[in-house]
Amino acid sequence: MGKSPLAARTRLAYQTIMQGFPADLRKLASRLEQLAREAGAIALTDFRLGERTSAEIRLKGGGSPVTDADIAVDRFLQQGAKAILPEAGWLSEESADNPERLERDWLFIVDPIDGTTAFLRGDPRWCVSLALIDKGRPVVGVVHAPALDHTFLALRGGGAFLNEEAIGVSARADLQGAAFVAPTEYQDVLGDSLYELHFVKRNPSLALRIAQIAMGDADVAIAKPNARDWDIAAADVILSEAGGALVELDGDALTYNRPNPRRDMLVAAPKALLGESLALAKAAARRGS
């Protein structure tokens, strides 16, 4: 069966937008997307749908799990990224942080497997998250979920795409009846509002939760404090290019390549809903403190 006219138009839009970028940036984005896909293929060799991973599992210092697949993907991405843009710094969940990165304009921020807990138990909701930062803001973001056959890609100023089809945030005008993705401990507070919100099951991967908002699959997502830049950098530019915003409670655009990659409470929402969403998140934060 051939592609629908809508699919053909969105594919043409993707090609047109990509052609509108400087050749170097188009080539760079294409190479990073391919790198993320190849990394996903490496991870898939140890993924068992509905079953425990074949990779060895151990605990890191903070008690969170890491698998041999995380490490293998991290090494592959670091080698590949260095070959693509040698002058860029590197920040990854599974690599020792080198403060020398703070002196670089360009920085790769990577989570080799975002959603490791899902990966190790056979849940397909995990992804490779790869962002390129220029002077503190992401310019290219790839979130590749190979077990779901989903590849999100965005270039700053060029739109956001899922499997080469343009995506956008919800067109909802207000929060009445909105679909929220939120931690369980915040749902009572949020549910007490007058908006009659309903709650969507949380994805184990924060990058994919933010991508849900970018594609309009849910309206707003709230994440409790303690996320790290590698969880969100790629999804940040995808959401921004889809018409949304990812912010902390101050409401400002996030900057990257800071000494401490830890984040406060996060809100992901369409720009039209950001003010109301921030007010609800602040109320939840006050009640939860």
How far, in Å, CA of 116 to CA of 126, rounded? 7
Does residue 204 have a pLDDT over 90? yes
User: What is the reported pLDDT for 194?
Assistant: 85
User: What is the reported pLDDT for 27?
Assistant: 84
Residue at token pair 């590749």: 144
Q: What is the residue-averaged pLDDT of the chain? A: 91
User: What is the reported pLDDT for 140?
Assistant: 96
Once rounded to an integer, what is the mean pLDDT over residues 237-265? 97
Does residue 3 have a pLDDT over 50? no
Please report, as a single letter, which amino acid is at residue 139. V
214: which residues sit within 8 A by CB, 6+ positions away? 152, 160, 167, 168, 169, 235, 238, 239, 241, 242, 244
Q: How confident is the model at residue 176 (pLDDT cuts 50, 70, 90)?
A: very high
Q: How confident is the model at residue 289 (pLDDT cuts 50, 70, 90)?
A: low
How far, in Å, CA of 125 to CA of 107, rounded? 26
Once rounded to an integer, what is the mean pLDDT over residues 178-190? 92
Does residue 266 have a pLDDT over 90? yes
Instruction: Dump pLDDT digits (tens) for 57-114.
Output: 999 887 899 999 999 999 999 999 999 999 999 999 999 999 999 999 999 999 999 9
Does residue 268 have a pLDDT over 50? yes
Residue at token pair 């949380």: 202
Q: What would the two tokens of residue 71 be?
A: 């490490």
287: which residues sit within 8 A by CB, 6+ positions away? 189
Taking residue 195's Cβ as centre, other Cβ atoms within 10 Å add up to 16
Q: CA nearest 204: which of 135, 140, 120, 89?
A: 120
For 62, counting Cβ atoms within 10 Å of its Cβ (0-12 exposed, 13-18 middle, 19+ buried), the class is exposed
- φ, ψ (nearest 5 deg) of residue 244: -120, -170
How far, in Å, CA of 103 to CA of 111, rounded? 21
Please report, as a single letter, which amino acid is at residue 46. D
Q: CA nearest 186: which of 265, 272, 110, 124?
A: 265
Q: Is 175 helix (H, G, I), strand (E, B) or coil?
A: coil
User: What is the reported pLDDT for 1?
Assistant: 39
- Evaluate whether 222 touches 183 at the Cβ level (below 8 Å): yes
User: What is the reported pLDDT for 191?
Assistant: 86
User: What is the reported pLDDT for 15?
Assistant: 54
Taking residue 63's Cβ as centre, other Cβ atoms within 10 Å add up to 6
Percent pLDDT > 90 in the chain is 83
User: What is the reported pLDDT for 192?
Assistant: 84
- Evaluate whether 113 touches 70 at the Cβ level (below 8 Å): yes
Instruction: Dump pLDDT digits (tens) for 5-60.
Output: 444 444 445 555 555 455 577 788 999 999 999 999 999 999 999 999 999 999 98
CA angle 115, 132, 110 (to 5 degrees): 25
Does residue 246 have a pLDDT over 90? yes
Q: What would the two tokens of residue 43 be?
A: 């991870």
